[in-house]
Every structure is written in structure tokens, then in C-alpha cells.
Structure 1
């Protein structure tokens, strides 16, 4: 099944093109199909799941027929599909729902993690420690228990036999700057080592704190790159910001982040050296926790 989110973005583009080709504003299309302007705007920004009956009425109102009608209706059907993450509603948070959708349907996932451990590779004690940090600075817009359950499920789905190839460049500063207990961080690092040691298509590469990044400026934030099985679904970049995820699928924008990722990957430790590094740090943290330091 193709990604419903990716299909919603494609459907959004198609609806906008149809509207503009008829010389209609969002208000004009809304009046034509008896919807609010807000609903049309949200459809054109891929912010809501399409209702098939409403899409059919819209296509009829715009005099769309034949193969074009069939193609757009099929696109709407795929955009309306639900995945395992939808059973959580908004209790797992919108960012994690987006990540789960894209990871589940991708061929490859690559990321640069500048401020957090890879979401799909976190163990339960570490997730619980992160929630406590989050609670200390803001009101949560998710249910902690459901978020933890969903994140554990993300890892289960990532490791399924037909799951994507997954590689992340992890900035070393994440290990040292997150104020989780040393024992919890050691548990998290050992968990990651176990996962990537047992699954060849899962890779973590550590970007050492003293690594130099040739060829340009430093990255300004964490970001994620996705490719998909179907050629009609273009590669996508998702950029992490303080308040939301910025989704990019214009070729030039995605290529800039792909180039940045390649530079980060080249500067990072190899897969085997990263495993050895994570094991050493985990052992040191466990010793500190045991000695009360």
C-alpha cells in the first residue's frame, strides 16, 4: 500500500491544479461544491484525509470524466487509507504519526539526528525519560502511555521482513547533552547496538563531536529523507523545527538535503566503528551510574 500521506499531498496538488484551470478561487470552489473555504484550503494543503463521496461530487462539479476521473478517484482512495498509527488518534502526537506513515511505506529512510535519538530505535525506559523532560517545559499534546506504545510499535514495524533500509547519522552531542539518567542512556545505547548488530539494513553512524564537515556550512537542524517504491512518489525531506515538521518534495529542495546528508555521512564513523563507540560509551555510563557519579 502506498503512503496515505504522500498520496494526500499528490491529491492536494491535483485539486489545486483543477481549481486554477477553471479560474476558481478557493471560495469559488467551496461555493460550487457546498463546502467551506477552510475545508478546501485544508484539502489543498494535505491537512485532512479526503472523503471519497465529497471528492466524487467535486470531480462531477468540475466536469472531470473518463481516465482522468478514474485516476483521481483512485488517488483519493489511496489517500483515504488508514494505517496502524491511525488507531492511536492524536494521542501519539502529529509528528510521530507522520513519521510512522512515511517509515512504513518507504524503501529507504535516512536521517541526521542533531538533537534526539532516532525515534524508531528508542527503548521504553529512554522514551519514558524523554517524556519527563518534555513535561518539564510544556503542556503535552499527546498521551504519554500511548506515545510510548506507538513508538515501540514503530520499531516493530521497522524491523518487519519487508521494512525499509534505515540509516541515521547521530550527532555525538545527543548522547552527552540530554539530561536523562546515565543508566537510562547506557540502556538506550546498548539497545541500539543490539538492534543494528542483529539487522544488517539498520545502520547508525556516529558523528563525533570533533568531526569536521568539509564542503560547506553546518546543518541547521535535524532532517529525514525518504524514498518510496513507486516512481510516481518523489523523494521527500522532512525538516525538524521547534514547533512542527517542514515537509519538502520539490526536487531542488530535497537534493540540497541529500547533499548535506552525504557530507555528514562521509564525516561520520563507519558502521562498525560506531557500534564500538556506542558500546564504549554505554559501558562508561553504566560504570558511572554504578559508582554514583
Structure 2
């Protein structure tokens, strides 16, 4: 199954190009099909599903050919498909719901983690500890048990036979600055080492404090890069902020994040060195807490 979001995005691009080819503005379209301007924008940006009746009205207005109509209706059907994450609704958290959708259709996933551990490799104990921190900070936008369950579903897809290739860059601060109890972090680090050594499609690189980054600049936040099997689907960048995730789909914007990632990757430790770093960090935590 291809990501429904990606299909909605492709559908929206087709509809926008058809509208523009007819010299119609969004306001023109809104007046003719009796829909709000904001709804049309959301459909063209892939943020909103369009039902079949609305779509046929849209295509009649644009006077498309029979072949165009057939192709677009089929794409709309694919875009309307629901994934496992839809059964969770917002109980898994709206940010995680979008990530799950994008991951489902991805060919490659690459992320840079500046302040937090990547969700795709968290242990259940680590996830619960983070949830406790979130709840102590104020109201949360998810149900902890459902959020943890959904995270495991995402990990299952990553590790499946047809899962994406995944590379993660961990800033050393993520490893050194403990957001969870030391035993939980130690177990998390060992779990990460086990995942990487057991799955050829997963790579982790550690970015040390003293790494010399080409250009000298760190990105201002964590981010994830996605590519997709179909060349018609452009790469995307999902950028982490305090309260929400920002999805970039314009090639120029995504290219900037790709450039940042490539420079960070060049500065980071090799995969073998990174595994040694993670194992030593886990050993150090065990020694500090008297565990062996």
C-alpha cells in the first residue's frame, strides 16, 4: 500500500495544474463549485480528502477528457484508502499519525535527531518514560497507551521485509543528556545497537560534540527526510518544532534540508565507530548506577 497522504498530494497537484491550465484562480473555482477557498487550498495541498461527488463536480468544471477523468478518479480512490493509523485517530497523537502515513509509502527515511531519541527505535520503557515527562509538562494531545502501541506498529513496519531503508544521525547530546532514568537509557542504547547489527537496512551515525561540520552550521531543529519509490512523488522534509511538525514539499526547501543532512553525515562517526560509541555509553551508564 502506498501512503494515502502521498496519493492525496499527487491528486492535489494534478487538480491544481488542471485549474491553472484553464486560467482559473482558486477564487474562480470556489465560486463555480460552491466550495470555500480554504477547502480548495487544502485539497490541492493534499491536506484533505475529496469525496467522489465533489471530485466529479470539480472535473466537470475543468472539462477534462475521459482518459484524464479515469486516471484522476482512480488516483482519488487510492488517496481515500485508510491505513492502520486511521483506526487510532488522534489518540496516537496527530504528529505521529502523519509520520506513520509518510513512513508507510517511503523508500528511504533519513533523520537528524538534535534533542530527542528517534521514535522508530524507542523501546516501550523509553516511550513510557517520555510520556511521563510530557504529562508532567502539561496537557497532552494523545492517549499514552495508544501512542505507545502505535509506535510499536511503526517499528514493525520498519523491520518488515518490505520496510524502508533507514538512516539516523544522533547528536551526542541525545545520548549524554539523560531525559529518562539511566537504566532505561542504557537499555535503549543496547536495543539500538541490536537493531543496527541485526538489520542491514538500518544505519545509525553519532555526531560528536567536537565534530567539524562542513560550513560550520548546525540545523536549528531535528528533521526527517523521505523519498518514495515513484519518481512522480517528490521527496519531503518533516521538521520538528516545539508544538507541531512542519511538512515541506517544495523541492527547493527539501534540498536545503538534504544539504544539511549530507554535511552532518560527513561529520558524523562511521557506522562501526557509532556502534562502539553507543555500547561504551551504555557501559558507562551501567557503571555509574552500579549495574553490570
- Answer yes or no: same fold by TM over 0.5: yes
Q: 1:111 to 1:69 in 2, by over 3 A?
A: same
CA contact (8 A) 2:2 2:104 kept: no
Match of 1:142 in 2: 142
Deviations 1:214-236 (A, max 9, x none): 23422111111111111111111
- 2:20 and 2:216 mapped to 1: Cα distance? 40
Match of 1:62 in 2: 62
- 1:92 and 1:129 mapped to 2: Cα distance? 16
Shift of 1:7: 1.8
Say if 2:244 is the partner of 1:235: no
Match of 1:151 in 2: 151
Say if 2:30 is the partner of 1:17: no
Match of 1:253 in 2: 253
- SS of the residue corresponding to residue 246 of structure 2 reads strand
- SS of the residue corresponding to residue 89 of structure 1 reads helix
Listed as ranges, the matches of 1:131-210 within 5 Å are 131-210=131-210
Shift of 1:67: 2.0
- SS of the residue corresponding to residue 269 of structure 1 reads coil
Match of 2:7 in 1: 7
Deviations 1:4-46 (A, max 9, x none): 1122222222333334444545454334334344432321332
Match of 2:264 in 1: 264
- SS of the residue corresponding to residue 237 of structure 2 reads strand
Deviations 1:61-95 (A, max 9, x none): 33222222222222212221111111111111121
Deviations 1:135-169 (A, max 9, x none): 12231111111000000111111000011110011
| Unmatched tracts of structure 2, length 5 or more | none
Deviations 1:233-256 (A, max 9, x none): 111122212222222222222222
| Superposed CA RMSD | 1.8
CA contact (8 A) 2:170 2:205 kept: yes
- SS of the residue corresponding to residue 13 of structure 1 reads helix
Q: Which moved more, 1:101-110 or 1:212-221?
A: 212-221
- 2:52 and 2:275 mapped to 1: Cα distance? 48
- SS of the residue corresponding to residue 151 of structure 2 reads helix
| Unmatched tracts of structure 1, length 5 or more | none
Relative to the length of structure 2, the TM-score reads: 0.93
- SS of the residue corresponding to residue 212 of structure 2 reads coil
- 1:64 and 1:216 mapped to 2: Cα distance? 51
Q: Which moved more, 1:264-273 or 1:238-247?
A: 238-247
- 2:260 and 2:213 mapped to 1: Cα distance? 10
- 2:264 and 2:37 mapped to 1: Cα distance? 43
- 2:112 and 2:272 mapped to 1: Cα distance? 18
Q: 1:70 to 1:172 in 2, by over 3 A?
A: same
- 2:219 and 2:27 mapped to 1: Cα distance? 40
Relative to the length of structure 1, the TM-score reads: 0.92
- 2:77 and 2:178 mapped to 1: Cα distance? 42
Shift of 1:122: 0.4
CA contact (8 A) 2:111 2:224 kept: yes
What is the aligned length?
291
- 2:53 and 2:289 mapped to 1: Cα distance? 59
CA contact (8 A) 2:206 2:268 kept: yes
- 2:239 and 2:178 mapped to 1: Cα distance? 20
